[in-house]
Amino acid sequence: MVFSSYVFIFAFLPLTLLGFYLLPRLIASGGKLRYAQNLLLIAASLVFYGYYNVYYLFIIIVSILVNYTLALAMQRCSLRRPALEKLCFILGIAFNIFLIGYFKYYDFFIENINFVFGSSFTLKHLLLPLGISFFTFQQLSFLVSVYKKEEEVENFVSYCIFVLFFPQLVAGPIVLYSEMIPQFNDESRSRFDSDNMASGVYMFCIGLFKKAVIADTLALFVDNGFAQDSLGLAAAWAASLSYTLQIYFDFSGYSDMAIGLGRMFNIDIPYNFLSPYKSESFSELWRRWHITLGRALSTYIYIPLGGSRRGRARTFFNTFLTFLVSGLWHGAAWTFVLWGSIHGLFVALEKTFPRLREKLPRWLRIACTFILVNALWVLFRAESFSQAAMVYRGMLSFSSLGLSQIASLALDNSFDFPTSVDIAYLFSLLAVLLFVVFRCRNSRQRLENFSCTGKSLAFCLFLFCFSVLHLSRESIFIYFNF
Amino acid sequence: MKKNLTSAQWLRRFLALALAALAVLAAIVYIIDPYYNYRAYDHKYKLDKIFSVPGVVKNYDYDAIVIGSSMTQNFDMDSFREKLGQNPVKATLGGITSAEISALFKLAQESGHAQSYYICIDTSVLSSERDEQRFPDYLMDFSLLNDYKYFWGYEAWMRFIPLNLGLLAADKLGIRLPERFDEARSIDLMGNWAYRYEFSAEQVLEVYSGSGNGAAINVDMTSISDNALANCESFVGSLDLSRGDIVFFFPPYSSLLWYKMEEEGSFDTTMELKRRFVELVESYDNVKVFDFQGAELTADLDNYMDLSHYSPEVNDFMVSCFASGDYLADTGTLADTERQIRENIDILLSRYPEIEKLK
């Protein structure tokens, strides 16, 4: 199920909220109430996850059972049988790597084997279970924390709600056991809190608008643009900028909705975005973009590799490797690996030569970072290197402006508007969105400044109603594929 | 900013106003009804191949309905009125699939308007793997329960309502719009594409040689799915043939298409499929089959704009046959038609010897 759908907004969410806040009327305060609420959220999350494909449920349930059993075994063996504890840990890591490797990387691996050795092993074309990268990563991080004695395994229900909580199940934010479970056990969070509900609704509406209205409108330009055989200068830049904006509004919209939904259930979910395109450098970008992934990669890859404590060369290597893994985490294709590697290279260079960019004025640093990030998103979006090369050729074809091609980007098969209208529409939309990205307050600032006024009510109503009018073109979130 | 509401008040107002706003939006769509989902008028709104057809089938006043692909989109409805004395409507979609024919036929039956059904059976309908249904589900029934996708739908609100209100305003203000705006609102002309193309042997041969100007309507008519026979049987099984006067017809593709099928090895399978289809439907007394595929005109490429799409004159010829009974078919006539198709291919090749060089 996706947040930006009629069924979620008008059926699933109201029913789940109703059930959640009716429980305190049925069950007296105490541990049982919170337990029952968590059970209800688990049941709702399973419905949410299995809505489109029941087969997904089987995979996630097996993943939870195996990880929980191993974590529990590790904890019980930790004092008396450290060797067994280590074995369980290794088994856990292997299981998760196998799970994600099988579903996500099997075909990639076989394709490369076939390419290198000229063999013809059959590809499986497996259906990628929704959000497998997210829930596998989250559970891996939990196993590591238990092994390092940073976390303690509680009961099975707590573990299930940690993995399954539907607002962040499919595309994050990637949360830590220690920041979520105390909240799920906190009885003071069991009753309806109108402050939380109002701010949650507000944040959800902002995210819904970002996704349903903005990102899905941009998706048309992107899909049409990347499907062309060749692009002129204007169309190539329009397509790449559209994707840069689409992926931001899509993913940050999802994260805003997750945070808003969390608040509706009195749960604080960490922020995942902080105006990333306002960054002056790649290092800053990754502190503002998909913040919880950066946190996890830093904790579980960069720091264990030695971080920045072992000299410049090692810092360079550690940074590069962390981003290479990040690229591979995003997708099983060399385009993703290259995308991650180049990001890693830029971050590593910034760390190695920190004074280099300081000579540039701030606005130029932001512009340079944005243009480079925009160019790299082409690699991320492209289905192949040749498709990326096609877009890059267009972005550099200064001899042909190709304005008329803009019409093919805006083509949606329902109306055939004059080219001039398409050009005006597309560029004015991009201009407005760039203004929003660079000049307006971000969702976090809006949420922190939220107050229950007529103005915020009108704003929220507009966002909600206008978004609802866009739900019929329901589409999944880009990050559902990762 | 001054806090002038409590959060509980803010929430209550949000809920009440959001529900009220959604109710108002739904009422506006119900009243304007840009897809004719509740009532249909001629020359009112711009018609759309996907969104308007179901509403027209449900709500327009007609007693005969033509269902089919681009092969049926140039039928002149006046021709049906004059030659058959019927009050017809077209329910067509380019590259229509068996699932779409089945759904439109069912909808027309449920609407209770039609006495007569004219259903075009393309070989691709019988042979293709494609089984998509492009008409939105919420328009393909009479239930209000799923119409929320219409009331609060992107296409209705962001596309059709603004455009149609603009057209209505132009009418009210007496602004004369280009003729194509009026044609786009004519139910008789719904889907008509003939005005956009040239019908000539030269054009067809250009398309065949691959050096054409791209004007061809690109439909794969020669590939045969491995499951074609089962698809064909399942398609017939999906139709309730017990009600109404039902006419199935095989459209007159050019002999060049049949020649191509022979060259590519799909000719015999296509004939088998036709035979199976006729076997399945001919037992019904209220069902007739017309097979125009052996008609002489198929060897004259001046009647076509590509290998399969013919001129409106050919559509008129078919309507005349519906009235006269010429080209009625059954399992007994199929062999003759097949022989005629092969003879027409010979005529074609002698008339256009360059075809064999263009292979």
How does pLDDT run across B112-135, given as a tens digit for each residue? 999 999 999 998 888 777 778 899
Q: Which residues of A touch B22 (CB under 8 A)?
A: 465, 468
CA distance B93 to chain A (A): 14
Pairing of strands B64-68, B245-250: unpaired
Total count of residues recorded for chain B:
359
The pair of three-digit structure tokens given for residue A206, joined into one six-digit string: 């902002």
Give the residue, B44 or A22, on which the prediction is more confident: A22
Q: How far apart are CA A63 and CA A143, in angstroms?
A: 12
Q: Which residues of B touch A457 (CB under 8 A)?
A: 5, 10, 13-14, 17
CA distance B54 to chain A (A): 16
> Is A461 close to B17, i.e. CB distance below 8 A?
yes
Range of the domain at B201: 49-161+191-357
Q: Which residues of A touch B5 (CB under 8 A)?
A: 452-454, 457
Residues A475 and A379 in one domain: yes
Q: Residue B247 to residues A143, B65, B285, B329: CA-CA distances in angstroms?
A: 68, 10, 11, 11
Interchain CB contact of B197 with A (< 8 Å): no
Active-site residues of A, by number, are 330
Interchain CB contact of B21 with A (< 8 Å): yes
CA distance B315 to chain A (A): 27
Residues A385 and A261 in one domain: yes
> Is A198 close to B11, i.e. CB distance below 8 A?
yes
* pLDDT value of position B1: 45
Q: Which residues pair with B90 in a beta bridge?
A: B66
User: Running DSSP on this structure, what letter comes out for residue A307?
Assistant: T
Task: Decide: A289 and A340 in contact? Cβ < 8 Å.
Answer: no
> Is B14 close to A461, i.e. CB distance below 8 A?
yes
Least confident of A75-79, A132-136, B29-33, B188-192: A75-79
Query: Closest partner residue to A452 among B3, B152, B154, by Cβ?
Result: B3
Percent of chain B at pLDDT > 90 equals 64
Residue A288 placed within a domain: yes
Query: What distance, in Å, lies between the first and last C-alpha atoms of chain A?
Result: 16
Q: Which residues of B touch A469 (CB under 8 A)?
A: 25, 152-154, 157-158
* pLDDT value of position B84: 94
The SS3 assignment for A166 reads: helix
Domain end marker among A138, A165, A192: A192
- pLDDT-derived band at B251, boundaries 50, 70, 90: very high
CA distance A464 to chain B (A): 8
pLDDT by residue, tens only, chain A of 482 residues: 889 999 999 999 999 999 999 998 888 777 788 999 999 999 999 999 999 788 889 999 999 999 999 999 998 887 788 888 889 999 999 999 999 888 888 888 888 888 888 888 888 777 778 888 889 988 998 999 899 888 888 889 999 999 999 999 888 788 888 899 999 999 889 999 999 999 999 999 999 999 999 999 999 999 999 998 888 899 999 999 999 999 999 999 999 999 999 999 999 999 999 999 999 999 999 999 999 988 888 888 888 888 778 788 888 888 999 999 899 888 888 999 999 999 999 998 888 887 777 788 889 999 999 999 999 999 999 999 999 999 999 999 888 787 878 888 887 766 667 778 888 888 999 999 999 999 999 999 999 999 999 999 999 999 999 999 999 875 656 665 55
**Which residues make Cβ contacts (< 8 Å) with residue B186, sequence separation at least 6?**
B42, B43, B47
Residues A459 and A441 in one domain: yes
Q: Residue B293 corresponds to which amino acid?
A: Q
Residue A1 placed within a domain: no
Residues A461 and A419 in one domain: yes
Query: Closest partner residue to B10 among A414, A452, A465, by Cβ?
Result: A452
Domain end marker among A192, A223, A255: A192
Residue B124 placed within a domain: yes
> Is B7 close to A6, i.e. CB distance below 8 A?
no
- pLDDT-derived band at B278, boundaries 50, 70, 90: very high
Q: Which residues of B touch A461 (CB under 8 A)?
A: 14, 17-18, 21
The number of folded domains in chain A is 2
Q: Which residues pair with B248 in a beta bridge?
A: B119, B289
Residues A132 and A172 in one domain: yes
Q: Which residues of A touch B148 (CB under 8 A)?
A: 6, 10
Residues A181 and A205 in one domain: no
Give the residue, B102 or A173, on which the prediction is more confident: B102
> Is A451 close to B1, i.e. CB distance below 8 A?
yes
Range of the domain at A145: 6-192
What ipTM was reported for this prediction?
Answer: 0.87
The number of folded domains in chain B is 1
The pair of three-digit structure tokens given for residue B20, joined into one six-digit string: 């009220």
> Is B8 close to A6, i.e. CB distance below 8 A?
no
Residues A303 and A186 in one domain: no
> Is B5 close to A452, i.e. CB distance below 8 A?
yes
The pair of three-digit structure tokens given for residue B119, joined into one six-digit string: 């259903």
Q: Which residues pair with B120 in a beta bridge?
A: B249
Domain end marker among A192, A216, A241: A192
Question: Which runs of E-coded beta strand occur in A17-97?
Answer: none
Residue B1 placed within a domain: no
CA distance B186 to chain A (A): 17
Cis peptide bond N-terminal to A354, omega within 30? no
Task: Decide: A73 and A84 in contact? Cβ < 8 Å.
Answer: yes
CB pairs under 8 A between A and B: 81
Task: Decide: B217 and B306 in contact? Cβ < 8 Å.
Answer: yes
Q: Give the alpha-carbon dihedral of A421, A426, A429, A434, to 10 degrees.
A: -150
Query: What is the per-residue DSSP string for A224-281?
Result: HHHTSS---HHHHHHHHHHHHHHHHHHHHHHHHHHHHHHHHTT-------S-GGG-SS
The SS3 assignment for B92 reads: strand
> Is A465 close to B13, i.e. CB distance below 8 A?
no
Residue B266 placed within a domain: yes
Query: Closest partner residue to B21 among A195, A201, A465, by Cβ?
Result: A465
Residue B105 sits in a domain whose CATH number is 3.40.50.1110
Residue B3 placed within a domain: no
Query: Closest partner residue to B22 among A194, A452, A468, by Cβ?
Result: A468
Task: Decide: B217 and B309 in contact? Cβ < 8 Å.
Answer: yes
Q: Which residues of A touch B48 (CB under 8 A)?
A: 414
Residue B167 placed within a domain: no
Q: Which residues pair with B162 in a beta bridge?
A: none
* Res. B181: pLDDT tops 80: no
- CA-based torsion, A215, A220, A221, A226: positive or negative: positive
Q: Stretch B140-154: mean pLDDT, rounded? A: 92
* Res. B212: pLDDT tops 60: no
Q: How far apart are CA A406 and CA A66, in angstroms?
A: 51
Phi, psi at A356, each rounded to 5°:
-55, -50
Helix (H) or strand (E) holding A326: helix A312-330
CA distance B269 to chain A (A): 31
Task: Decide: A469 and A163 in contact? Cβ < 8 Å.
Answer: no
Residues A234 and A170 in one domain: no
Q: Residue A229 to residues A224, A225, A235, A393, A409: CA-CA distances in angstroms?
A: 10, 9, 12, 11, 12
Find, in chain A, the residue whose alpha carbon is nearest to that of B19: A465
